[in-house]
Structure formats: structure tokens, C-alpha cells
Structure 1
Amino acid sequence: MSDAATSAIIPAEGATEPLTLMGAGLVGSLLALYLARHGHSVDMFERRADPRLASGLEGRSINLALSDRGWRALDGVGIGDEVRQVGIPMYGRTMHDQHGQLTHQPYGQENQAIYSVSRAGLNRKLLDLVEAEPGIKLHFNQQCLNVDLRHHTIQLRDVTTAQEQVRPFRRLFGTDGAYSAVRGAMQKTDRYNYSQSYLEYGYKELHIAPGPNGTWQFEKHALHIWPRGQYMMIALPNLDGSFTCTLFFPYEGPHSFAALQTPAQVQAFFEEVFPDAVPFMPELGTDFFSNPTGSLVTVRCFPWAFNDEVLLIGDASHAIVPFYGQGMNAGFEDCSVLNSLLTQYGSDWHAVFQLFQTQRKPDADAMADLAIYNFEEMRDRVADPRFLLQKKIESKISAQYPGQWLPLYSQVTFSHTPYAEALANGRRQEQIMSGLMPYIQKESDYEQNQVQELLREAMSKLHQQI
């Protein structure tokens, strides 16, 4: 993938073709900015009301973790610095055990961080920037009822007036999320591959209140995790001193949403399993029963393009579960990749669409697998002393073999290595660690001659494989 996202965007010669974009969420808004910078006029249609006028997003979404891929995409249209002003850097994980004891694990090298950002706040910021672009027109409260691929029209219903209209399109971009109406039309075409799979877990947004004078009740610059084996809670910091919490919980079973039916049951359960958090959650019962329970879906489909007329981007083409913090970052990286192709091929839409989907599909599939893997790691393994020891050993290997060993998490989060390549590298590294760890019981064992000799042999084989 080229680094064109960070260079100046040069509009293609004569690029004034009007484009239609379905979905004005995070990816749709960023894509519209890129398309406008390439000289296109853009009509954007969004089913929801303008989030800048309504506060309907809170309680329904997980705080976002912006990392390097997302920052590059934002910097590509010159808005990264503005967003950084409303983000909080998180330099590592802080794990809370059932007795309130804390364990810390850095994310990467010193000063490497992912940034906690409010989804609603970022969406509003992007929409402000979209609205400032003279070539973009925003249309809210427009539900897509049908996409006629043959006749190049979309049927829309105004959810406030119930009036319907049919509008033509020349080029349509589907950025309308995991339950995309645009993809729904493509699924009816011949030989279309599509699957969706749900975890047996849902998620519930909860809230840790700020302390006196807007202070943070826990470490501000960390992502907090309460791992409990078959379920977990996480918390990300907000600018006002609060934390947005998310409980990932089975739908059914002895410890599940189905088992907690009253405020008293919720309070007793949280006091037992998350005792250090409960004193700072005064609205726990209200939040638990008023905030909706969200589902966790993985969507895979192909092709993403219909001829040179329709293209799916972001969750519409590759929705993933949120456990690597890469859903939005992957969608933003889609915009970077598409921008690179537009810069290279201009308005040769056939080349742009075909190259985009063939380049991104393997990476999207790899990221879907990585997200499931990281859920199991966060839920089950981050509280395991052996796992934490292995992470320390991996850090030592990375320092000893710079350029040859970059931990999987760092490849995904702090680099622009294609996801598929990162996954393959991670699997090779895990094989090496499974051979080393039986000889390591404490951190100092890393220096033993036997361990170092095994490591040298493994690194030599790794170099040959790559």
C-alpha cells in the first residue's frame, strides 16, 4: 500500500462527476472528504437524524480507540491535529482482578499510545468538516428502501415526513454499516458470497462517574480491563473525568444478561465481581436497564464492487467485533487505500474498484480473525501470570532483534503492515514462543544460554521463512 494518504491530494483531471454516498457515519464522512478533495461533488444520505442536533448515539456505542492507521487517514485530509485535541492517549492496559489488585501492561514502546475518542464527538467533528465543503450535500433522515442496480436508482423514505423519492446515481458508495442496504441489493446478484456470524455475547454501555472537579477515579492514560474468564468489562477515559464502560456478557447462562433481571441482582453481581468499580458507578442500575444490549457481529462478503458503479466500504463490507480496536481504524484505512488508488488511476473507476477490493479483502478477513482472537486474549489470558511473562519476553526479543521482531499487537496497532501480513507474522512468532516458554519460569531465565541458543535458531528459521 502506498503512502499517498499523507501526501497532497491532486484532483484527477476533469474529475467533476457527481457521486452518491449512502451513510454519513465515521467512514462515510471521511470518505466524502477524500472524494471532495479529488474534485467530485458528493450527495450523502443518512437514515438517522443529524447527530449534532440529537444525542441518540450515547448508550449505543463503544468508545473508540484511534491508532496509527486511523491517524494516517485523518491526517490525509488535514484533520488529525484537530481530533488529537479531543483524544486521550492510553499507553497500556490496566487489569483489575476480583480483589481490586492492578496489573499493568504497556501497549508498545515508550510513548506509544492508542487514543480514547468519543464516537459521537468524532462523528460530529467530521460532519462539521463535511458541511464546510461546498461540494458535499448532506441529507439526514433518509432511509434507503431499495437500490435498483439495473436502473441506477435509490428509493428513499424521509423518516420524519414518510415521503418517498427515487433518485438516480452514477456512482454509489455504500458506507451504511454492518446492516448495509446497499450490500443488501448486491446480495441479490448472481454468485454473491455473504456470511454473518454472531458471538454468544452482547455488550452494554455503562458509566464511571468523574471524581471531584472532573478528576479521573482510575488511571487516566490506560484502557482498564476487568477480565473474568467467560466475560469482562472494559473502561476508556473521557475528557470530563468519566469513563465509558462496556460490559461484554453472555446472553444466556448462569452469568448472563438473562440471569440479571432486577436492579438488586445487578448491584449484587457487580459488587461481587467488579468490587473496585462499583463505588464509582452511581447510576449502575439505571444504565444497565435503560441502555440497549448490542450484538457482536462479523460480516464477510465478496465482491465489494458491482461493475464500476457501486462500491462497499467499511463495516458494509467487513464488519468485525470491537476487540482489537480496529473496526473504525480499518474503515479509515479503506479511505486511505481508496485515496491512493484515486490518485494513481483518477476516474478509471473500473481499475479503482477492482484493485481496491482485491487489495483489501485479504486484510479485512485477517482483521476479523484477529478481533476474535483478541477477545479471547482480553477475556481469558490478560489475567494469567504466564501470559504476562510471555509478553515481557516478547518485548525483550523485540529489543534484541530490532527490525526482525515486532509483536503482533504493535504490527496491528502501531504500524501500517497489511493485516494479513501481520497475522501471518504473528502466527510464526507464536510458534517460536511456544518453543521458548517451557524453558522460562521467570523473566531472568531469558538470559540463560539454552534459551538464547533456541532463540537464535528460531530467529534464523524465521528469517528464512520471511
Structure 2
Amino acid sequence: MEKEPQLSVMGGGLVGCLLSLYLAKQGYKVEVYERRADLRSAELAGGRSINLALSDRGWRALETIGIAEDIKKVAIPMYRRVMHDVQGNLSFQPYGQAGQAIYSVSRGGLNMALLDLAEAQPNVNLHFQQQVLEVELKTNEVTLLDNATGQEHTIQPDVLFAADGAFSMVRLSMQKTDRFNYEQSYLDYGYKELTIPPAADGSWQLEKNALHIWPRGQYMMIALPNVDGTFTCTLFFPYDGEVSFKELQTPEQVESFFQKVFPDATALMPELTQEFFENPVGSLVTVKCFPWSHSDKVVLLGDAAHAIVPFYGQGMNAGFEDCTILRGLLEEHGSDWKTIFKTFQELRKPNTDAIADLAVYNFIEMRDKVADPRFLLQKKIESKITAQYPDAWLPLYSMVTFSPDLPYSQALANGQRQEEIMRQLMVHIATEADYDKPEVQAYLQSQLA
């Protein structure tokens, strides 16, 4: 009788939990090892509670395990961006067509829901406070430290799935192998979380169903709604320079700076200075590497394979899409792990590289361009083009966010072509009414009809 393969997943975060559920549904017995304590019985350490934007690629993954509707009960749809200028004036930009939204969800809340679901599976075992120290790739022997007891022990799974994050210890072992390409780059910006509490009656103090942005050129703050009436604010700010974390050293400096730059938000943040000095500064890293697999024994996925910065709201969605793609390959190829892993990395690598580049570009757009009247005019013109040529023009954001069947790489290529068309078109446009100019219509006809 053929021995049942022993599968281990390193990482009990969002991607690791979802993957374990997919593997279990294929009939495999899965051991999940997580470095942290069980989130359901311990406080989540600071610095990683940044809200997540769940969009169509992520929803598709959750629908396949039957929890999408439950998650929607604790997720808040955001139908548009609301931009706040220095005077507190507001401007608006819809995310998609009528009714389309991205959803604000709690990282911890979603992770706990997935842990509950994984624990309920008879063929999934969860092991917490298990830190990977080393992976011997020739034998697939993993040395783990039990942080609860201080004891080291080893496991030797037949197949190892590494979903252990941007600083993956499994990937570190692969980096020591021949011809392994690795690239890591940090933005010169960090992020710090702050809070806007509910109003006295428990309601939201800003528009609830929107992602709020305070774009200020070289930095910005955003706010996402939570179900308890709060907003989680995230300040994306330079580490160094004249305006930077380094220069804001006293409560007086913080209060003065926020009053000057984010006055409407500051009025709603009674614990601003306390949170500013208590909450850590998180870093923003992009990781690209290849290959993602070693023989038929080890494969990387999620942030371990392709960490990206959060400005397209696609980090979690891309990781969930990894699981969806793997699930399809499992159904197609059974236990032919070599074929599954080779096909998986060839399919995913161009797409995760594309979304990584788009995420950095979108940071520039969010912090700077969304406050530019010409940029906002261009977006209105693009909406008109979409209405006139719905089969030929879908905005880049919609391709990435609301078109789960379209690969990220194809969305990027389409977006680059559209940007060139808009560069030519905007020369003739000073107002929305100029869209109806004969030369504008003739150019669009030549490009899109």
C-alpha cells in the first residue's frame, strides 16, 4: 500500500491557513507550524494589524471554502476614495462601476476565522510557537524551536509548503543553493498606525463606506473603516529628512505637525500623541525571487515568494490567488509535485512581479497624483471612455481589482497601452466637455473601435 505523503505548511497566517484547507479538501493530512502564539488566545504583536483590502481575487478564494458570506458580515465595503486636502475640502474617486467595492477587513479577525476553520478539519493539525531555525533541503529535515518550552526538535515532511512570510526561513535556506535569484528592496518610507475613534453615539466620524486619503506629495495618511465605528489610520512617512519620523521627536512637534498638515483628521484623534510614540514604525519591503521550488519537495508561496508593498491592496489577494492556482494544479496533476511546482512558479512569477511594480507605482499615485486636478480630470475622461467603449477599455485599477480572470501581467500591459493613449489624448482636453471634440472622438475611434 502506498504511503500517504506527509505535508507540512510553514506559517499559520492567512495564506498558510487557506492553503492547509485546500490541501485537506484534497484528502491530505496537513501539519501547520506557526511561529507566533495562537491569535485566538493571545494579543497580536504590534506593527502587523494594518487593515486589509479584500477584493475579487481574494473573495474567489474564500468562496471555494464556503466562508465568503461569513466574512462579508464583518467586512465593510468601500465604494470610493475620499481625498482630504489641507483645508479639509473633499474630492471623490469611485473604485469601479456602480456597486463595485473593495472591502475593509481586520487582518487578525480574518486570520482567526481561517484558524477556526482549519482546526475544525480532522486532517489538519495546528502547532503554535514553532520557529523554523533551519531547513536541510537535501533531506527536507526542518529544525524547529518550540518557543513555549525552549526545546529544539526536527520534522521531515515529504512535501514542505513555505508560507512563512516576507522573511521566510525556508526561503533563506533556498537562497544558499546554486542559481537562486533573490532581490529585496525597501521604500525610504515606514508606516505607523493611528486611530480615529467612534463618535459619542458609536457611529463613524468619517464617511463609512470609503477609503480616506490625505495625500501630501511626498507622504500621505489613509484611513479604513472598522465594524466597531473606528477607523484605522496609517501614516506612510519618510524615515529621514526635513519632514520625517526622525524629526518628530516630542509630543509638541507631533501635535503641531498634524494640526498643520492633517487638521480635519487631527480634530478626530484624541489619542494622537500617545499612539504616535507607543506604536512601532513598520517597514515596507518588496521581495522578488526565483525559483520558488526545490525539486519536488519544497515550494514558496505568498509573501515568502513575492512580498509587495500594500498600495494596491493586493498582497493578501495575490497570496490567496496563489492558493487558488495551486488548488487547480492539484486537481489536474494529483500528487505529481514536480509538475505542480514547476507549472505553479512559471504561471505566477510574471504576475506577482507585475503586481509588485504596480504597488510601488500606486504609492506615488495615492500620495501625490490624487490631489492633482489634471489627474482627477483624466480619471473622469477614462470613465467616459469606459462608458463609450465598455468592451475595449477597462481602467487599470478595475482590471487588477475586479477582474480575477485577468492575470496581473496582462493588466499591467493593458494599463501601459492605455496610459500612452491618455498621454496623447489629454493634450486636447482642458475640461470634461472637451471629450466631445471631434479630434478626441476621432483619435479614440482609431485606437479602440
| Equivalent residue, structure 1, for 2:409 | 420
The Cα offsets for residues 351-407 of structure 1, whole Å up to 9 and x where unpaired, read as 111000000000010011000010000011000011001001101101111111100
Distance 1:439 1:52 in 2: 57
Task: Please tell me whether residue 404 in structure 1 is matched to residue 380 in structure 2.
Answer: no
Distance 1:53 1:280 in 2: 31
User: Match for 1:453 among 421, 442, 445?
Assistant: 442
The alignment yields a C-alpha RMSD, in angstroms, of: 1.0
Distance 1:77 1:262 in 2: 49
Distance 1:170 1:213 in 2: 56
Counterpart of 2:337, as a letter, is: W
Counterpart of 1:301, as a letter, is: C
SS in 2 for 1:355: helix
Residues 178 and 316 in structure 1, CA contact (< 8 A), matched pair in contact too: yes
Distance 2:3 2:108 in 1: 32
Task: Please tell me whether residue 180 in structure 1 is matched to residue 190 in structure 2.
Answer: no
Closer, same or farther: CA 427–419 of 1 in aligned 2, 3 Å: same
Closer, same or farther: CA 15–435 of 1 in aligned 2, 3 Å: farther
Counterpart of 1:442, as a letter, is: T
Distance 2:23 2:148 in 1: 29
Task: Please tell me whether residue 138 in structure 1 is matched to residue 102 in structure 2.
Answer: no
| Equivalent residue, structure 1, for 2:107 | 119
SS in 1 for 2:321: helix
Shift of 1:348: 0.9
User: Match for 1:444 among 429, 433, 445?
Assistant: 433
The Cα offsets for residues 284-309 of structure 1, whole Å up to 9 and x where unpaired, read as 11111111100000000000000010
Task: Please tell me whether residue 237 in structure 1 is matched to residue 235 in structure 2.
Answer: no
Normalising by structure 2, we get a TM-score of 0.98
Distance 2:173 2:283 in 1: 23
User: Match for 2:19 among 28, 31, 34?
Assistant: 31
Distance 1:373 1:180 in 2: 25
User: Match for 1:95 among 83, 104, 111?
Assistant: 83
Residues 59 and 291 in structure 1, CA contact (< 8 A), matched pair in contact too: yes
Residues 196 and 299 in structure 1, CA contact (< 8 A), matched pair in contact too: yes
Task: Please tell me whether residue 227 in structure 1 is matched to residue 202 in structure 2.
Answer: no
Task: Please tell me whether residue 107 in structure 1 is matched to residue 95 in structure 2.
Answer: yes
Which consecutive unaligned segments of at least 5 residues does structure 2 have? none
SS in 1 for 2:207: coil
Distance 1:275 1:421 in 2: 41
Distance 1:164 1:57 in 2: 23
| Equivalent residue, structure 1, for 2:418 | 429
Residues 15 and 38 in structure 1, CA contact (< 8 A), matched pair in contact too: no
Q: Report how many residues are paired.
A: 447
Residues 132 and 145 in structure 2, CA contact (< 8 A), matched pair in contact too: yes
Moved more, 324-333 or 156-165: 156-165
The Cα offsets for residues 145-164 of structure 1, whole Å up to 9 and x where unpaired, read as 00111122110111122111
Counterpart of 2:416, as a letter, is: R
Closer, same or farther: CA 15–321 of 1 in aligned 2, 3 Å: farther
Which consecutive unaligned segments of at least 5 residues does structure 1 have? 1-13, 461-466
Residues 149 and 185 in structure 1, CA contact (< 8 A), matched pair in contact too: yes
Residues 165 and 304 in structure 2, CA contact (< 8 A), matched pair in contact too: yes
Residues 194 and 301 in structure 1, CA contact (< 8 A), matched pair in contact too: yes
User: Match for 1:341 among 317, 329, 343?
Assistant: 329
